[in-house]
């Protein structure tokens, strides 16, 4: 029987790339989505019998409580990927309050509480398993590894909380077959980063910006998807508890992001 893996937020960006890579590797992949029903169905059609889609707004506690598919499969792996960014949150939360507090609530709820609630729903089932389970949490270089001045505070706070959750669960599972990892990517060329940053750049500035990034390019979703697939391998147990900086060096040299000025060489 194919190993079953759940990828939250599997319709766009890293999640979509991961779903496709896993399906091609022979896993049975289940994805969640909130609004991209069409993209979800397209993946289900493309990988008939290998990819299954479930609508779940992970920022809505009642929906998570009622999402029985979360406990109906003895997951081999769960990739906690779904999240909102500082711009994509604007189409999720009501806009206009003077502190932008609705955005803060949405970022903290979807990004941090969502994975927590999904984990809590699955916990009794996961703890009964005797076979290996791999839990992989997507944090971010901002919040998970470093602090970038002037980035959206609650975005970084929510991703710091995700990294903490992974660390806490790793501590609790040192003597169990459950392996826990956190991956903290840098800026990736996905809809999330387009919405917050890339859409405001001319093609020339965008090219210059990409060249200024660590290793002279933006991270692609497939770069991260590759390592998420590697972490599902048996050998990854050695990395249990690791928070993997997947930023090509941005986490070590944060100025790359904050000191970019268009026109620089
Ligand atoms: N892009 C970056 O530069 C970057 C950098 C560091 C870390 N990350 C992290 O990497 C992960 C993936 O980011 P990405 O850039 O691939 O994002 P993305 O392209 O915006 O895709 C986000 C995915 O999450 C789903 N999602 C959003 N809100 C949801 C909700 N309330 N309930 C369920 N699903 C929801 C979306 O589904 P729908 O389309 O159905 O809404 C979509 O499939 C996120 O955790 C993000 O924080 C991203």
Residue 155 to residue 5: CA distance in whole angstroms: 27
* pLDDT above 60 for 265: no
Domain that holds residue 239: 4-188+220-247
Q: Which residues pair with 243 in a beta bridge?
A: 182
Q: Is residue 79 part of a domain?
A: yes
- Distance of CA 138 from the midpoint of ligand 1 (Å): 9
Q: Is residue 200 part of a domain?
A: no
Note whether residue 116 is domain-resident. yes
- Does the pLDDT of residue 260 top 90, yes or no? no
**Domain total for the chain?**
1
Query: Is the torsion defined by CA of 87, 93, 97, 103 positive or negative?
Result: negative
C-alpha of residue 129 to centroid of ligand 1, in Å: 29
pLDDT tens, position by position, 174-204: 999 999 999 999 999 999 999 999 999 999 9
0.85 exceeded by pTM? yes
Residue 89 to residue 246: CA distance in whole angstroms: 23
Answer yes or no: is 209 within a domain: no
Residue 194 lies in a domain: no
| CATH code for the domain of 39 | 3.40.50.720
Neighbours of 3 (CB within 10 A): 18
**Strand, coil or helix: what is 99?**
coil
Q: Which two tokens stand for residue 46?
A: 């493309």
Whether 191 is in the pocket of ligand 1, judged by its Cβ within 6 Å, is yes
| Ligand 1 atom at minimum distance from 57 CA | 32
What is d(CA 251, CA 257) in angstroms, rounded to the nearest whole number? 10
Determine, yes or no, domain membership for 123. Answer: yes
- Beta carbons of 58 and 114 less than 8 angstroms apart: yes
Residue 259 has pLDDT above 90, yes or no: no
Q: How far apart are CA 146 and CA 223, in angstroms?
A: 20
Helix axes 13-24, 221-231, angle to 10 degrees: 50
For ligand 1, pick from 13, 80, 138, 145 the residue to mutate: most ligand atoms within 8 Å of CB: 13
Angle, CA 120 vertex, CA 114 and CA 122 arms, to 5°:
105
**Would residue 162 count as lying in a domain?**
yes
pLDDT reading at 264 higher than 80: no
pLDDT tens for 3-39 read 999 999 999 999 999 999 999 999 999 999 999 999 9
- With a 6 Å cutoff on the Cβ, whether 86 touches ligand 1 is no
**Ligand 1 atom nearest 195 alpha carbon:** 20
Any domain includes 169: yes
Question: What one-character-per-residue DSSP string does 124-177 give?
Answer: HHHHH--S-EEEEEE--IIIIIB--TTS-HHHHHHHHHHHHHHHHHHHHTTTSS
């Amino acid at each position: 029987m194919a190993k079953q893996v759940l990828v939250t937020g599997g319709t766009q960006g890293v999640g979509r790339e991961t779903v496709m890579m896993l399906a091609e590797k022979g896993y049975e992949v289940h994805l969640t989505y909130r609004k991209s029903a069409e993209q979800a169905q397209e993946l289900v059609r493309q990988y008939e019998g290998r990819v299954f889609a479930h609508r779940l707004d992970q920022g809505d506690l009642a929906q998570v409580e009622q999402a029985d598919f979360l406990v109906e499969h003895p997951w081999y792996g769960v990739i906690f990927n779904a999240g909102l960014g500082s711009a994509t949150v604007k189409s999720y939360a009501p806009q206009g309050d003077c502190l932008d507090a609705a955005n803060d609530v949405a970022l903290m709820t979807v990004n941090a509480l969502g994975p927590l609630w999904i984990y809590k729903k699955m916990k009794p089932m996961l703890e009964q398993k005797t076979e290996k389970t791999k839990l992989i949490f997507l944090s971010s270089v901002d919040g998970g590894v470093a602090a970038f001045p002037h980035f959206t505070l609650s975005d970084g706070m929510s991703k710091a909380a995700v990294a903490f959750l992974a660390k806490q669960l790793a501590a609790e599972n040192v003597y169990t077959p459950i392996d826990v990892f956190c991956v903290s990517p840098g800026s990736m060329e996905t809809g999330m980063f387009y919405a917050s940053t890339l859409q405001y750049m001319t093609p020339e500035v965008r090219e210059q910006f990409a060249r200024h990034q660590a290793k002279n390019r933006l991270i692609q979703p497939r770069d991260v998807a590759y390592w998420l697939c590697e972490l599902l391998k048996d050998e990854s147990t050695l990395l249990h508890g690791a928070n993997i900086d997947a930023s090509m060096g941005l986490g070590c040299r944060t100025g790359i992001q904050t000191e970019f000025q268009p026109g620089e060489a």
